[in-house]
Structure 1
Amino acid sequence: MKRLVFAVSSVVVLWASGCSNTLEQEDFCTEYAKATCETSVKCCTSRSLDLASCQSGWKALCERLIIAGIEAKKSNYDASAAAECMGDIRARQDECKMSQDTDGSCNRAITGTISEGGDCKDFPSSCAQGLTCYLRVSNETTKGTCVKRAGEGQICADAPCETGFYCDYSTQLCKREAALGADCSNTRCSRDAYCDSETKKCMELKDVGAACGSSSQCKSFQCTSGTCTANDSAATGFCFVPTEP
């Protein structure tokens, strides 16, 4: 499984699990929404989230993107891995780090069957193992193709980069992100950090109320009059809540 976190060019998805050894398919989206929103409510620091609205939005998105693929025979469901996956998602609450790995159990929970080069526009979570759905959206059409992620130094014009890398659009090649504390004078920091202009080191993003020099330093992505402020329109990280169609 991938992560239900979306960018313009690619689709990625996250999952979760409770105490049971199995989680039946008909209960998956309900439990996924609960686990995701429990984490979101705790870890979203830029604004307050409504738990009921959060769960409703994530459940609807899960049913539309995940269950639809299973029912169309584009994905297979593993009840044991799904239960383990729920626990892994809830474990992300401990450190509130978006980069914490949950892919092992979650990738086993929902396994796609669409092969490389196949059309995944209508089933973006149903690409086969090792592939991701690369979505290209224009004013007129939406196209989706199952592709392998590009690695360091590989071309990223027609494929998203692997986790921990980003597409350097000046070269169209994947480049490694710098971790917290690392030098960022010639690269981009990981998603939970910003590049300090003086030290040229990756620093942890700041909470609401902290002093800031730019919006890129804030978890809310909003710096007002030198202070990180809440951003109700922020739709990234733990604060992302999908709206029902």
Structure 2
Amino acid sequence: MKRFLQGLGAGGAVATLAGLIGLGGAEFRLPILKALFRLDTLKAVILNKATSLIVVFFALLFRSYEIPFEQIVEHKSIIINLLLGSVVGAWIAAGYAMKIDEQLLDRIIFVLLLFLAGVLILEHWFLQDHQGALFDAPYLQIIAGILAGFGIGVVASLLGVAGGELLIPVIVLLYGVDIKLAGSLSLAISLPTMIVGFARYSRSQAFIVLQEERVLFIALAIGSVIGAAIGSAMLGVVSSNMLVLLLAVVLMISAYKIFHHQKKASKQS
């Protein structure tokens, strides 16, 4: 019961804060799975990805009141363009993550978490007033979309995240789409991308974590869905200006502490 309540609280708190800035919160959930619940890195990534799948699905439903599905379908060319790269990146990265040792995976994840923290800050400060597509030539846009999608698929698969921090700025900058619509398009791209990575991870022995930690998984899923709904409802009440900066700093500190501690512990053993 204690583990269930901890998972419910952690999932709800992360999703509420992340929901205020339009994210799924998986990048913040991963350090918690490592530190609070003491999961091995690969198991934490898999559990994080499973939870993220549920959160993204419900986030799409919650956002449909403001961004209808018909509007998303109108921009299906953007979704297809980025998916051409992201599903390949997710498949390759998941296979790589299952083969390398945990210490190297820790270092890779540590760098990626710091990178995402920086993206959070830059996105919020420089993306708000952007207008117009980056390229006029369609073929350049398609090539850039595939390459960007591949990189995002790699990051999403290695961390078990939806990748909204990367997808949203790419969609806005590359295609000149409104930032709110970009948020929904990013979810539509994230869902199949994560399913591909999740399917690849199912071949790993660490996939058993979904059975071993099914109580924690259920608690995280319930808490995350409730938190996402609360965060979405508070969008017009709480200013996200300082929240983005605060969460980025928290992400940097938690990533450093958790993975640096893991490195010291491995040396001592």
Fold conserved between structures, TM > 0.5: no
With normalisation by structure 1, the TM-score equals 0.31
With normalisation by structure 2, the TM-score equals 0.29
Structure whose residues are more often helix by fraction:
2
Answer 1 or 2: higher relative contact order, Cα 8 Å, separation at least 6. Answer: 2
